[in-house]
Amino acid sequence: MKSKNHPFSPMQYNANVRSPKLFVKQIFIVLLLALSIQSAMSQENIKNSKKELSDERLVKSLPGFKNGFSNVNGFKIHYVAGGQGKPLVLLPGWPQTWWSFHKIMPELAKKYYVIAIDIRGMGASDKPQSGYDKKTMAKDVSELLHSLGIEKAHIAGHDIGAQVAFSVVANYPNLTEKLIIMDVPHPDDSFASSLLLPAVGTPTDKLDPARPYLWWFAFNQVNDMPEEILLGRVATFQKYVFNYLLFDEKALSPFDRAVYANAYDSRDGIRAGNGWYKTFPQDIVDYKDYSKLQMPVLAIGGPGYNWLQYVLPAKTTNLKVVKAEGSGHFIAEEKPQVVIDYITEFLD
């Protein structure tokens, strides 16, 4: 009796055979569903394919920009350049790539020759085993600019890129006209006092600028373990980092997030990105030896506004600190026009 009600029972099969039209209709529906599922999966794969997320494809969305590679300081470095005028270098941070500036690059290129660089260990640049202290990475930038025939440039950076930008200026002052720091200062003693545990009542899913809990600072210090845990799961990890630091989570589209996940989802990608954090103790030591910067410095803060105001006066002589109101950490993507306006006004 049980087989009588089973959808694939002999009795049901015989009934279908006796009703050819019904049987053909059922087969057609099954095939249609299968094709629909396959089509949907194919569209998803195309959307997030390696080719779609490649620098070759990304740069096509920015007319006038081209990919470039140069061998500097013993490794290959990738950059995207375009525009005309005085050189303006853009250095991105973790966990992103040059693409983090894609919303501001076309407008800035109307006045400047824009060079967005994948720093050592990032994106299509090589990922050597060492050299992630900001002083060494500053040499990378210096050698790249010299290889391009550039003797002087404006230097701008965000997050880790801001730390490298500061180090470029501190170590190669003759290379820099003006410096722009976005939301994060160079590592100093304030980094060494970062809390391991959040203060009472501090949210851990959304940044409170007054009580930041930078949990990944510790996570990224561990050797080998992050690669084991995150490989194949970088997108999930980044989702929590981005959403914690973003004021407007929609500012990073699903495609943007796929670009960044693709850039880091390998053992070398994870290791290299963490390398920027593992060198913080050495960066702090190097920072203490730097003299005050003599050139004009603009600091654009989101949640890091007060941090920049606290740290930078001790190492600058001509400083302006401004705030990107209503922005989270990723200010070039959350408030691109605000950043463009601040930069152009400062550089003009």
Beta bridge partners of 113: 83, 87
Annotation says 159 is catalytic: yes
Cα dihedral sign, 297-143-282-156: positive
d(CA 306, CA 210): 9
Looking at this protein, which amino acid is placed at residue 317?
A: T
55, 159, 283, 286: which is the annotated catalytic residue? 159
Do residues 79 and 153 touch, judged by C-beta distance below 8 A? Answer: no
From the list 79, 132, 277, 287, the catalytic residue is 277
256 three-class SS: helix
State how far the alpha carbon of 147 is from the alpha carbons of 71, 73, 77, 167, 242, in Å: 9, 11, 11, 19, 34
Q: Are 168 and 176 in contact (CB under 8 A)?
A: yes
Runs of H (alpha helix) within 60-147: 105-108, 134-147
Q: Which of 118, 283, 329, 342 is catalytic?
A: 329
Respond yes or no: is residue 188 known to be catalytic. no
CB-based contacts of 166, cutoff 8 Å, min separation 6? 134, 157, 179, 181, 185, 186, 293, 315
78 is catalytic: no
- Alpha-carbon gap, residue 173 to 293, rounded angstroms: 8
Inter-residue contact 183 to 329 (CB < 8 Å): yes
Q: Which residues form the catalytic set?
A: 159, 277, 329
